[in-house]
Structure 1
């Protein structure tokens, strides 16, 4: 994705206005998240550096998974989401693995997957017929009942989620070796 003035160009097309603004905001947060992994080995990307379970490779995996899931929600609605009310302990354990770089996974691999997810999301934003198109949220304890989110609202949520985890990643990286994303 490239941005010139008020136009953002994805691999597929040029977008302007609100769509360009959403894509620029999302790309800025993606950049800060990816930047926390610069010059790291796979071992460092898998290392916990605080009391938290978080590691940098796992944060990249999680954010890619969340972005992929929400992009599918925009198109398919709640059927794209897991049935949170029926999740088992094993399901929650698998979701917890999103926050870890597992044996056989590499930082380069999770970054490549994240780049592919980002590319597909950018193309979706560029091609959506209507940012106001809404889908009902799935039933989950953390969602207000009988609520719909527009594609716009979902994208704002993805920007916020990415920014939040970029902040987590910055703390993890600073605790790991003193490197900072900003400042």
Structure 2
């Protein structure tokens, strides 16, 4: 592909800028950490910094599959509910960050190129979704932004508990 694509403008640029900002806050919380530090729990929850990176990447990937192909596409890669917030096996912080970057590039490309942000699909059946509700691509991207921002805040608390470092302040 030698043709350069024009950068998104307007609403798409705003959505991507907001998502990039919150991704940056989340990534900043893990700068300079070892794998052991990234896997350490500093609160009573199951959350660790590496696990948050893994979770946010998985959530983003799943919701963008939904945006393109609906609930069936979202379910095509099952969630490991037990281990989604933990670093397990041979997972490394560098590997989790690489996967997050891959997911982010795919999301950014989809947001920039999907023909219609109003295209919508019925939500998966779940007790936390209103029966029959539909989400547009726009609503999915807003949800991913909110999820990323919320977990960046969690990560900031965990990092401060780990070694006193803060993302902001």
TM over 0.5: yes
1:161 equivalent in alignment to 2:144: no
Instruction: Give unmatched runs, 5+ long, in structure 1.
Output: 1-10, 84-90
Are 1:149 and 2:130 matched, yes or no? no
Structure having the larger proportion of residues in strand: 1
- In the TM superposition, what are the counterparts of 1:1-183 in structure 2 within 5 Å? 13-82=6-75, 94-183=80-169
What residue in structure 2 maps to residue 4 of structure 1? Answer: none
- 1:13-60 CA-to-partner distances (Å, cap 9, x unmatched) read 410000000000000000000100010000000000111110000000
- CA-CA distance at 1:98 after TM superposition: 1.3
Large movers: runs of 4+ above 3 Å: none
Q: 1:29, 1:163 within 8 Å by CA — same for their partners in 2? A: yes
Cα RMSD (Å):
1.5
Provide the rounded CA distance (Å) in 1 between the counterparts of 2:52 and 2:134: 27
Write the distance in 2 (CA, Å) between the matches of 1:13 and 1:125: 13
- Take 1:146 and 1:27, find their aligned partners in 2: how far apart are those partners? 31
In structure 2, stretches of 5+ residues that fail to align are: none
